[in-house]
Structure 1
Amino acid sequence: MSPNLENTEPEVDLFYVMKKIGDFFDYLGELTVRFIQFILRNIFIFIGLIVVGIILGYLLDSNKKDEYRHEIILSPNFDSSSYLYEKVASQQDKLDSIIVGIEVEPIIDVFGLLSSGSNNLEKGEFLSENNINISTHEPGNQTEIIYKLHKLTIKTDRRDTDGEIVSNYLNKLNQQPYFLKRQEIEQAHIINEIEEKRASIKNINNMFQKMGAADTVAKSDFNIEMYPELNGLIESKNYLLTNIEQLQISQVEKSKVFYDIARVQNIKDNTLSYMIIIPLVLILIYLLLVFFLGKYKKISARIS
């Protein structure tokens, strides 16, 4: 008897599962038919709700102003990152009729942060040891000051066709006296550094000329034993040229307190029309009312 039971049990289980699946689809089909019948019985109510919703949606859409985003990648200089974030936060309640919103967030570049110098590497180790995540940004944790680039988003209620709205805001942002004074000092320092490195390159070139002029070498006290240092001189010159290039880039970026590296303007925020939202909301409210009224009638009949 037991072998026969073992053979028939899997067949019974499979038959039971298939029956349950069939019952589920039958129930789903019955619900669909009932819902269609419900719509057909109340078709004029649904049409009325849709018409009213479209009219209300049209009125709301006609009063709704288009909103445009302008995204600017900024490089804050002279330790001005904290000032930028405080300035944006303090202006949230003081926006004019054109600018309707301002946001700022760091552009997180962990590799660039840690590879840009030994000091930044030490900062990264310190933050990691203190459980401060440098790969994500949480507003208010003040880690934004360690990043070089930041995205400033300005929202307006109209197109900034000629870029004047964004430019005026950035010009006002760049007029803080303390940072302007620091800009003057650091720009002068960069110019001096470039001149010194160019002077060093000039001296190296003079040494190359002495090495290349055999008659000059023979008649002077220039030691021929310095020729093995030729590779070192070439490396030094290349290093100085690279430094000058970096200083010139820094000179460009520090021509403003907040240097705008790139802008993407007039990004229109496409929001769903109220002519779609309102009819759907009205229909949903109607369906919920019908459902709860039906439940109420059943419970009342059961109690009575």
Structure 2
Amino acid sequence: MSAPQPASNVDQEMDLKDIFTLFQRTFYKFLALCFKAVDFTFKFWWIILLLIIAGATLGFFSKGKPTYRSEVVVQSNFDSQAYLYNAIKQFDENLSEKDSVFLRSVDLSIENIPIKSVEIKPVIDVMSLVEELKISDRTFGTIIKELEVNDEEELFASDRFYTNYKYHKLIIDLRSEEAKTEIAKVIDYVNNKPFIQRIKEERIQNIKERIKQNESIMVQSDALVESYTKSADLSSQISNEKLSFFNNSNTLNINGVLTFKNTLAIETEQLRNDLAESLDAVVVISDLQTAKQESFKDRKEIIYPVLFVFIFLFFAGVRYTYFSLRREVESQNLLD
């Protein structure tokens, strides 16, 4: 049995020519279809124009009222972060349910609720977080691996860490720009929670007692140093290695006393600052930023005209395809 003969160069050239001719015919058919689409558009331009005008008019008058988003940074005191987040979550859920009892309790209008939603996020400070947790890089990496999160921001804003942050961003969606005056009611709702009030009273009382105790110890330290200074000859008691005062049966480490007093003074100053800032569990520390919220679905005056024209051209294309195929079938006498 003889081996098959290879195709001649002439046959190969004919095959390439047929392929090129087929490609050329297909291209010209597509080009002709484009020309017909352009001719159809120019022929029925007035219908397209009417559809654009009708869509723009309908979209303009069917647009809902614009919404606004306000953001404010708040400070959480008394280690109340967990209660703050729970209170904001509860506030948002009651809004979504349109709970009339709740709305009356926070003095919000029931017929036209001015606030759409409330959300809170921590202001992330990674360095302070690591310093506060006092964990090594290896331990921190292990914690990160155990958490299922999508990005870095979501990681440090997760439930595992948000209680370690002092500052938080409160995000409120409003139905009107004037409704930003109602934001204070969200803050009041959190601060007036009975449990928050108890925490506040106990923490303030503890701070005041701590300040009083520190002041008493500092007065005693001054009296102790003064007493030993009067009863000792300073010039003969100074050592090259340590500054100490000696009495017959007692030894006083001046460096230790003064260092301890300085530590108490710094702590007392910080406690006084905390007391001044801790008027409430949640305190607003930034200006209110309000911006109009716009998304693509709010641009109905653009969406509707495009949609109407697309539907018109789509059905025109379906109609053209139907009659073209029908003529092709009729030309082959397949309908007889």
Report the TM-score when normalising by structure 2: 0.64
Give 1:152's match in structure 2, choosing from 157, 170, 181: 170
The whole-number CA distance in structure 2 between the counterparts of 1:291 and 1:249 is 74
1:253-264 aligned at under 5 Å gives the runs 253-264=277-288
Task: Call closer, same or farther: CA 1:159–1:86 in 2, change over 3 Å.
Answer: closer
The 3-state SS of whatever aligns with 1:74 is strand
Once the two structures are TM-superposed, the CA of residue 143 in structure 1 deviates from its matched residue by 3.5
More displaced 10-residue stretch of structure 1: 261-270 or 171-180: 261-270
Aligned residues of 1:113 and 1:120 also touching (Cα < 8 A): no
Deviations 1:147-197 (A, max 9, x none): 423322222222237x53111222122211112111101111112223333
1:155-194 aligned at under 5 Å gives the runs 155-160=173-178, 164-194=181-211
Deviations 1:79-130 (A, max 9, x none): 4144235414422222742112222333333322222243899995673363
Corresponding residue number in structure 2 for 1:227: 243
Task: Call closer, same or farther: CA 1:292–1:60 in 2, change over 3 Å.
Answer: same
The whole-number CA distance in structure 1 between the counterparts of 2:162 and 2:221 is 40
Once the two structures are TM-superposed, the CA of residue 249 in structure 1 deviates from its matched residue by 4.2
Corresponding residue number in structure 1 for 2:309: 283
The 3-state SS of whatever aligns with 1:83 is helix
Corresponding residue number in structure 2 for 1:250: 274
Counterpart of 2:267, as a letter, is N
Task: Call closer, same or farther: CA 1:54–1:118 in 2, change over 3 Å.
Answer: same
Aligned Cα RMSD in Å?
Answer: 4.3
Corresponding residue number in structure 2 for 1:93: 97
Aligned residues of 1:115 and 1:121 also touching (Cα < 8 A): no
2:68 paired with 1:68: yes
Corresponding residue number in structure 2 for 1:84: 87
Aligned residues of 1:106 and 1:144 also touching (Cα < 8 A): no
Corresponding residue number in structure 2 for 1:46: 48
Aligned residues of 2:89 and 2:119 also touching (Cα < 8 A): no
Task: Call closer, same or farther: CA 1:117–1:192 in 2, change over 3 Å.
Answer: farther
Corresponding residue number in structure 2 for 1:197: 214
More displaced 10-residue stretch of structure 1: 178-187 or 87-96: 87-96
The whole-number CA distance in structure 2 between the counterparts of 1:129 and 1:112 is 20
Aligned residues of 2:73 and 2:170 also touching (Cα < 8 A): yes
The whole-number CA distance in structure 1 between the counterparts of 2:50 and 2:319 is 20
The 3-state SS of whatever aligns with 2:280 is coil
Aligned residues of 2:118 and 2:173 also touching (Cα < 8 A): yes
Corresponding residue number in structure 2 for 1:10: none
The 3-state SS of whatever aligns with 1:112 is helix
The 3-state SS of whatever aligns with 2:177 is coil
Corresponding residue number in structure 2 for 1:5: none
Give 1:104's match in structure 2, choosing from 120, 125, 128: 120
More displaced 10-residue stretch of structure 1: 220-229 or 66-75: 220-229
Deviations 1:64-93 (A, max 9, x none): 223222212233443414423541442222
Number of equivalenced pairs: 275
Aligned residues of 1:74 and 1:261 also touching (Cα < 8 A): yes
In structure 2, the gaps of 5 or more residues are 1-23, 100-109, 245-252
The whole-number CA distance in structure 1 between the counterparts of 2:226 and 2:28 is 97
Structure 1 or 2, whichever has the larger Rg, is 2
More displaced 10-residue stretch of structure 1: 287-296 or 229-238: 229-238
Counterpart of 1:93, as a letter, is E
Aligned residues of 2:88 and 2:118 also touching (Cα < 8 A): no
The whole-number CA distance in structure 2 between the counterparts of 1:235 and 1:31 is 92
Give 1:113's match in structure 2, choosing from 115, 118, 129: 129
Report the TM-score when normalising by structure 1: 0.69
The 3-state SS of whatever aligns with 1:294 is helix
Task: Call closer, same or farther: CA 1:208–1:256 in 2, change over 3 Å.
Answer: same
Counterpart of 1:281, as a letter, is L
Deviations 1:248-295 (A, max 9, x none): 443345321222232424322235542222212212222222333333
Task: Call closer, same or farther: CA 1:67–1:186 in 2, change over 3 Å.
Answer: same
Aligned residues of 2:190 and 2:196 also touching (Cα < 8 A): no
The whole-number CA distance in structure 2 between the counterparts of 1:287 and 1:201 is 88
Corresponding residue number in structure 2 for 1:55: 57
Corresponding residue number in structure 1 for 2:5: none
The whole-number CA distance in structure 1 between the counterparts of 2:232 and 2:225 is 15
Percent same amino acid at aligned positions? 18
Task: Call closer, same or farther: CA 1:158–1:207 in 2, change over 3 Å.
Answer: same
More displaced 10-residue stretch of structure 1: 271-280 or 184-193: 271-280
Task: Call closer, same or farther: CA 1:273–1:132 in 2, change over 3 Å.
Answer: closer
